[in-house]
């Protein structure tokens, strides 16, 4: 089948909305703010934006172009262009398998908070010990995680498409609601300090981890190195202007993350005095901070409930596309049926998700390479596997298929203004940078260097 026939995105807007809808998820709303709070505020924001518009842009474009050129998913695309490189698709395809489980744990937290708001628990959720009390519980977080896994798998298994239409409504509403909450947050007494912390880069807060964390976040948020962009590219019509579509998707993705940071970080200063422990809250930050914001608002219960149901939609659609990518690994790679692939994925997800959830309670003291269990999976996927996959993609393009192939693919549908920048980045800058970060991350995780 050639790509024009395969193309189901005939219009640019449809393409942009669909890819942006998949890219915007927990990564923007839950993950970005806690990393920004933990790794330096304004300096993290600056490093993140620089990475996203340079390396991020280059990698998104490269993966999309490879997908459109071959009309195939990641597993098949590499082999299609060069038989010996077939295995490279596998590494892209394996990554979502390890992300899905912990994504579902956070999805379960979102569901729980939604249920709390629906049952009039807005004040209870704002108490200092509520979040830690909840996650240290053994069974309840696991039950909500299982509900979230079941919901996502059901959509994947049945191949129900309606959810995507629902998310096209939910996403813009979530963006507007987040903006309203952000405006409310930044106008609270005491939040100015937080606003300064978030917006003004302070080089004293910079550490090597700022780069490592920002790079991992860039992969995660833009759905790079997960086989996803290949798949969307393979459905992209040859006439759609690739460079400008990708620019708009990036603006959207960075914009939502930026607003989520505005919603949460100044509120940490306003409601918790900006003390370092609160800023270092990690994965719990959104769940600890936002309920305090809602509790201080008129109609906070309704706003909180609406917020969590919208985040649930964002998380569900992302989990569905992550699961689709994961089962494609078994279907395309091992020629298994959809049913068998879903069953395998259900087992893997449960086996990894349960320890991730227990890591916040019963298995609190368990560490892997010095990290909690959920953080370990997060680190391994975003800071180790994704840079490896991206590095291999750069080498593949520069040494095997040739940068010209990608450039021609981009140019067949429009201008390529940043052609020079793309060529230099994919050939020299990105591989060198990824290699340095990768080696440092590995050495640091093994305890050989301190970052
Ligand atoms: N980019 C999504 C987020 O930021 O939450 C995560 C993601 C969703 C990655 C869907 C990949 C994907 F297919």
pLDDT score for 451: 66
pLDDT score for 4: 41
Going from the Cα of 262 to the center of ligand 1, the distance in angstroms, rounded, reads 21
pLDDT score for 332: 82
Q: Among 23, 326, 381, say which to mutate for ligand 1: greatest number of ligand atoms within 8 Å of CB.
A: 23
pLDDT digits (tens, 9 = 90+) for 28-38: 999 999 999 99
Residue list, ligand 1 pocket, CB within 6 Å = 22-23, 25-28, 220-221, 223, 226, 228, 318, 321-322, 325
- The reported pTM is 0.94
Q: Which atom number of ligand 1 is nearest to the Cα of residue 30?
A: 5
pLDDT score for 389: 95
> What is the arithmetic mean of pLDDT over 238-245?
94
Going from the Cα of 317 to the center of ligand 1, the distance in angstroms, rounded, reads 9
What is the pLDDT of the chain when averaged over all its residues? Answer: 92
Going from the Cα of 432 to the center of ligand 1, the distance in angstroms, rounded, reads 26
Closest Cα to residue 410, out of 245, 168, 290? 245
Closest Cα to residue 231, out of 349, 321, 334? 321
pLDDT digits (tens, 9 = 90+) for 16-28: 988 888 889 999 9
Asked whether 272 and 278 are in contact (CB, 8 A), the reply is: yes
Q: Which atom number of ligand 1 is nearest to the Cα of residue 325?
A: 13
pLDDT score for 14: 85
Going from the Cα of 92 to the center of ligand 1, the distance in angstroms, rounded, reads 14
In the chain, the percentage of residues whose pLDDT exceeds 70 is 96
Going from the Cα of 222 to the center of ligand 1, the distance in angstroms, rounded, reads 7
Q: Which atom number of ligand 1 is nearest to the Cα of residue 315?
A: 5
Q: Among 163, 322, 377, 385, say which to mutate for ligand 1: greatest number of ligand atoms within 8 Å of CB.
A: 322
Going from the Cα of 20 to the center of ligand 1, the distance in angstroms, rounded, reads 10
Name 430's Cβ contacts closer than 8 Å, sequence gap at least 6.
55, 58, 59, 390, 391, 394
Q: Whose CA is nearest to atom 10 of ligand 1?
A: 318
pLDDT digits (tens, 9 = 90+) for 320-372: 989 988 998 898 889 999 999 999 999 999 999 999 999 999 999 999 999 99
CA angle 26, 28, 30 (to 5 degrees): 50
pLDDT digits (tens, 9 = 90+) for 96-132: 999 999 999 999 999 999 999 999 999 999 999 999 9
Backbone angles phi, psi at 371, to 5 degrees: -120, 155
pLDDT digits (tens, 9 = 90+) for 61-85: 999 999 999 998 888 889 889 888 8
Q: Which band of pLDDT confidence, cut at 50, 70 and 90, is reported for residue 449? A: confident
Asked whether 320 and 326 are in contact (CB, 8 A), the reply is: no
Q: Among 19, 26, 27, say which to mutate for ligand 1: greatest number of ligand atoms within 8 Å of CB.
A: 27
Going from the Cα of 52 to the center of ligand 1, the distance in angstroms, rounded, reads 15
Q: Which band of pLDDT confidence, cut at 50, 70 and 90, is reported for residue 262? A: very high
pLDDT score for 1: 38
pLDDT digits (tens, 9 = 90+) for 390-431: 999 999 999 999 999 999 999 998 899 999 999 999 999 999
- How remote is the C-alpha of 180 from its chain's centroid? 23
CB crowding 17-48: b at 16 or more within 10 Å, else e: bbbbbbbbbbbbbbbbbbbbbbbbbbbbbbbb
Distance (Å, whole) CA 137 – CA 268: 25
Q: Is 284 helix (H, G, I), strand (E, B) or coil?
A: helix
Going from the Cα of 19 to the center of ligand 1, the distance in angstroms, rounded, reads 10
> What is the arithmetic mean of pLDDT over 218-239?
92
- Phi/psi region, residue 300 (left: phi>0; alpha: psi -120 to 50; beta: rest), is alpha
Asked whether 93 and 28 are in contact (CB, 8 A), the reply is: no
Residue 39 has pLDDT above 90, yes or no: yes
């Amino acid at each position: 089948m050639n790509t024009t026939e395969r193309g189901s995105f005939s219009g640019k807007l449809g393409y942009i909305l669909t890819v942006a809808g998949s890219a915007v998820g927990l990564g923007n709303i839950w993950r970005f703010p806690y990393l920004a709070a933990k790794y330096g505020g304004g300096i993290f924001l600056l490093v993140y934006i620089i990475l996203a518009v340079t390396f991020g842009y280059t990698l998104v474009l490269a993966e999309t172009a490879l997908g459109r050129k071959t009309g195939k998913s990641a597993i098949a695309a590499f082999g299609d262009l060069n038989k010996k490189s077939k295995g490279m698709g596998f590494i892209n395809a394996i990554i979502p398998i390890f992300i899905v489980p912990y994504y579902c744990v956070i999805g379960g937290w979102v569901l729980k908070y939604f249920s709390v708001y629906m049952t009039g628990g807005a004040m209870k959720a704002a108490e200092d010990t509520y979040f830690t009390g909840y996650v240290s519980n053994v069974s309840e977080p696991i039950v909500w995680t299982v509900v979230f896994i079941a919901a996502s798998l059901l959509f994947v298994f049945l191949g129900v498409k309606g959810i995507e239409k629902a998310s096209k409504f939910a996403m813009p509403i979530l963006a507007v609601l987040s903006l309203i909450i952000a405006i409310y947050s930044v106008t609270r007494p005491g939040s100015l300090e937080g606003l300064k912390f978030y917006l003004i880069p302070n080089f004293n807060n910079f550490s090597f981890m700022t780069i490592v964390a920002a790079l991992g976040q860039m992969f995660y948020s833009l759905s790079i190195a997960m086989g996803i962009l290949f798949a969307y590219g393979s459905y992209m019509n040859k006439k759609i202007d690739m460079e400008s579509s990708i620019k708009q998707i990036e603006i959207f993705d960075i914009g939502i993350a930026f607003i989520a940071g505005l919603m949460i970080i100044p509120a940490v200063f306003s409601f918790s005095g900006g003390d370092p422990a609160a800023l270092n809250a990690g994965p719990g930050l959104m769940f600890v901070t936002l309920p305090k914001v809602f509790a201080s608002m008129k109609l906070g219960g309704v706003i909180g409930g609406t917020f969590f149901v919208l985040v649930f939609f964002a998380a569900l659609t992302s989990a569905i596309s992550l699961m689709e990518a994961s089962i494609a690994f078994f279907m395309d790679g091992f020629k298994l049926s959809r049913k068998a692939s879903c069953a395998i994925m259900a087992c893997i997800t449960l086996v990894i998700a349960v320890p991730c959830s227990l890591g916040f309670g019963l298995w609190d003291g368990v560490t892997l390479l010095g990290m909690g269990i959920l953080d370990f999976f997060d680190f391994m996927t975003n800071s180790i596997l994704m840079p490896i996959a991206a590095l291999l993609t750069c080498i593949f393009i520069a040494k095997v298929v040739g940068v010209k192939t990608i450039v021609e693919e981009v140019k067949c549908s429009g201008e390529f203004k940043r052609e020079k920048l793309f060529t230099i980045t994919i050939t020299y800058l990105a591989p060198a940078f990824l290699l340095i970060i990768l080696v440092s991350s590995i050495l640091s995780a093994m305890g050989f260097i301190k970052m």
